[in-house]
Amino acid sequence: MLTVFITGGAGYIGSHVVKELLHQGHQPIVFDNLQTGHRKAVKNVPVIEGDLSDQKILKETFQYYPIKAVMHFAADSLVGESVQNPEKYFNNNVKNSMNLIEIMEEMNVKKIVFSSSAAVYGEPKEIPISEKHPCVPTNPYGETKWIFEKVLQAFHDAQKLNFISLRYFNAAGADPEGDLGEDHSPETHLIPLLIKAALDGTSVPVYGTDYHTPDGTCIRDYIHVTDLSHAHILALTQLEKENASGIYNLGNGNGYSVREVIETVKKVTGKKVTAIDSPRRPGDPARLVASSTKIKEELGWVPNYPHLETIVETAWKWHKKHPNGYGHQKEK
Ligand SMILES: NC(=O)c1ccc[n+]([C@@H]2O[C@H](COP(=O)([O-])OP(=O)(O)OC[C@H]3O[C@@H](n4cnc5c(N)ncnc54)[C@H](O)[C@@H]3O)[C@@H](O)[C@H]2O)c1
């Protein structure tokens, strides 16, 4: 049993990982400022409401709990916003993350699993994208993730910590037991937007219909949030076992176009979904598909929910039961 400090544990992916950690017999301690997270998304674990900019509360938490490892989900993660407001992104995703590793160093905690992103790669030169692909981020969000990976590598080289950086492609779906789901505001992710459209009749823009793809729309790699959660447990086990660090992609290796996702949502929900053909967004690559061979071979990761239909079914189950998500007031 390990006591694991989870930044952003009340968020979409963090809350699913907390559930999995509990299931595996670990003790998660959630640290979250609830700016996008939800208190109702974390049950039966200590939740410290605090901000990573606050070194005092961070240090008190590390002094109080016997923390042995960290999982770092907390971040701002809207690509468009990062272009408009880069200082917010460098402050939260880099400067505040530095606060965290400084406290880790001071308190002698040497293991961290970091939520990185496919956004570190930028415009892909080849598909599927492996970890060897050059990193040339095309927006400040991707830049912040890439910078913090380099920080972690430098700390590793200085023998101050070991890290595993997981580069997620498009996280999607919901806890198959229906307890947890995705509730962002504003929502920018395609599957919850389409489900909302199925539920309340709103329409969803399709950004770009003239890409060099079979149906002209962008292709993305969707990975079930529970499969991501399993990868975090494997990463933690690996950090416990070996004095080593690593970077791993997490995707299914299957690309689905926007139109294919729309058709799948229509099929699963049995409802009408209005999609409106719209101009391309600047900076959206035509295809982003991962090679996850490395994590399969080195950590033994196997996705249990690789099919888009199952991913959408789990999301639909949660949204049908929680049409207002976790509720939009701040829950205490
Ligand atoms: N969702 C995806 O498809 C995806 C893809 C690639 C990478 N990621 C990365 O995975 C991580 C989790 O993503 P998510 O979709 O669960 O996001 P989320 O917004 O649901 O969760 C982030 C959590 O961090 C908290 N937080 C943010 N800044 C904080 C701070 N300064 N102090 C304390 N808490 C803070 C938020 O309140 C929230 O609960 C992020 O780092 C994101 O960049 C997500």
Q: What is the pLDDT of residues 168-192, one digit of tens each?
A: 999 999 999 999 999 999 989 999 9
Spell out which residues line ligand 1, taking CB within 6 angstroms. 7-8, 10-14, 32-37, 51-52, 73-75, 77, 92, 96, 115, 117, 168, 170-171, 184
Position 77 pLDDT exceeds 80: yes
Q: Dihedral of CA 284/295/145/21: which sign?
A: positive
Domain annotation covers residue 21? yes
Domain annotation covers residue 276? no
Q: Closest ligand 1 atom to the C-alpha of 77?
A: 43
- Residue 153's nearest CA partner among 117, 188, 101 is 101
Please indicate whether residue 141 is annotated as part of the active site.
yes
**Residue nearest ligand 1's atom 35 by CA:** 74
Domain annotation covers residue 166? yes
Answer with the residue of higher pLDDT: 327 or 319: 319
To test the pocket of ligand 1, the residue of 6, 7, 13, 49 to mutate (highest count of ligand atoms within 8 Å of its CB) is: 13
> What integer best gives the mean pLDDT of the chain?
95
Q: Give burial (CB, 10 Å; 0-12/13-18/19+) of 66.
A: exposed
Q: Closest ligand 1 atom to the C-alpha of 50?
A: 33
Domain annotation covers residue 203? no
Q: Domain of 104: which CATH number?
A: 3.40.50.720
The neighbour count for residue 114, using CB atoms within 10 Å, is 25
Number of domains in the chain: 1
Domain annotation covers residue 265? no
Q: Which domain holds residue 234?
A: 3-171+223-251+298-303
The neighbour count for residue 173, using CB atoms within 10 Å, is 27
Domain annotation covers residue 192? no
Domain annotation covers residue 315? no
- Among candidate residues 12, 89, 141, 256, the one labeled active-site is 141
Average pLDDT over residues 307-327: 95
Sequence-separated (6 or more) residues with CB below 8 Å from residue 98: 151
Q: Given this model, what pLDDT does residue 331 score? A: 39
pLDDT over 90, % of the chain: 94
